[in-house]
Amino acid sequence: MAKLTFHGHSTFSIETGDGTRIVVDPWFTGNPMADIAAEDLEDLDYVFCTHGHEDHIVDAFPLVRRTGATLVSTFEIVMFAGSQGIEGGHPMHIGGGWDFPFGRVQMTPALHGGQVHGDESGQWTTVPGGFLFELDGTRVYHAGDTALLTDMQLLKGRVDVALLPIGDNFTMGPEEAVRAIEFIEPKVVVPIHYDTFELIEQDTDAFVEKVGSRARVEVMKAGDTMDLG
């Protein structure tokens, strides 16, 4: 059975039933919510990045360099990594899926900014995305940073656990996250991308109340682990 651990903001680590170790949107260095440092992660197999903003990618390249993990992200981000000496990444793009040894992953659309942190040339601007993971029979949707999208209706019936931004200002806020839940109909929702900065402070109790019976909301604190399935 796969396990999902929250590290604050949008950062998660996943360990699948077959022992594959994954980190998604690694931001440990300078993350006021993080429970561990990037250095605490060992033996990583994959690093997934939804988009290029600093708060989703800042520890990705150092983690890949140190652990030999495979970087998985948009074509542009993987090419940028290549220009920084990181070869062997797995490029994907919106709408495409791939059967990794641990399970299938599809990239989903997100509506957000495309800047890539560290790309001084501005050459590798990308389209941000999200990921839909199939992990030992449980489907986990990491929405990345996004506005509410009507396209989320296409995920209806395809998501067990939805990791949804609720911070407002840079992404969906709580009201839109409730509409996203109506579109997707996940069993479980984990709010992400809130409280890290003043601009995205939110009241999770009020969010749980707003969601009501639409889904079970799991408010994870950094360091919390959830068994999937």
Residues of this chain that bind Mn ion (CB under 5 A): 53, 55, 145
Least separation in angstroms between residue 219's CB and Mn ion is: 19
Total residues contacting Ni ion by CB under 5 A comes to: 2
Report the residue from 53, 139, 142, 193 that binds Ni ion according to the rule CB under 5 A: 53
- Cite the DSSP H helix spans in 3-126: 54-57, 60-67, 75-83
Among the listed ranges 12-20, 48-56, 189-197, 219-227, the one in contact with Ni ion (CB under 5 A) is 48-56
Note whether 145 binds Ni ion by CB under 5 A: yes
Buried b / exposed e over 175-190, threshold 16 CB at 10 Å, is ebbbebbebbebebbb
142 binds, among Mn ion, Ni ion, none (CB under 5 to 8 A by kind): none
Identity of the residue, 23 or 228, whose beta carbon is nearer to Ni ion in the bound complex? 23
9 binds, among Ni ion, Mn ion, none (CB under 5 to 8 A by kind): none
Least separation in angstroms between residue 167's CB and Ni ion is: 10
Least separation in angstroms between residue 43's CB and Mn ion is: 27
3-state helix, strand, coil in the chain (%, to 5): 25, 25, 50
Identity of the residue, 7 or 53, whose beta carbon is nearer to Ni ion in the bound complex? 53
Contact (CB, 8 A) for 220 and 10: no
Measured between alpha carbons, how far is residue 153 from residues 94, 110, 180, 226 in Å?
Answer: 16, 13, 8, 25
> Cα–Cα distance between 89 and 157 in angstroms, integer?
31
* Three-state secondary-structure class, residue 199: helix
Identity of the residue, 34 or 135, whose beta carbon is nearer to Mn ion in the bound complex? 34
Note whether 142 binds Ni ion by CB under 5 A: no
Identity of the residue, 145 or 176, whose beta carbon is nearer to Mn ion in the bound complex? 145
Identity of the residue, 55 or 76, whose beta carbon is nearer to Mn ion in the bound complex? 55
Burial class (CB in 10 A: 0-12, 13-18, 19+), 222: middle
Query: Mask: binding to Ni ion, 69-98, rule CB under 5 A, as x and -?
Result: ------------------------------
Identity of the residue, 3 or 93, whose beta carbon is nearer to Ni ion in the bound complex? 93
45 binds, among Mn ion, Ni ion, none (CB under 5 to 8 A by kind): none
All residues at 6 or more sequence positions from 55 whose CB lies less than 8 Å from its CB, including other chains:
9, 10, 25, 27, 31, 196
Q: Give bridge partners of residue 222 from the DSSP assignment.
A: none
Per CB under 5 A, residues contacting Ni ion are 53, 145
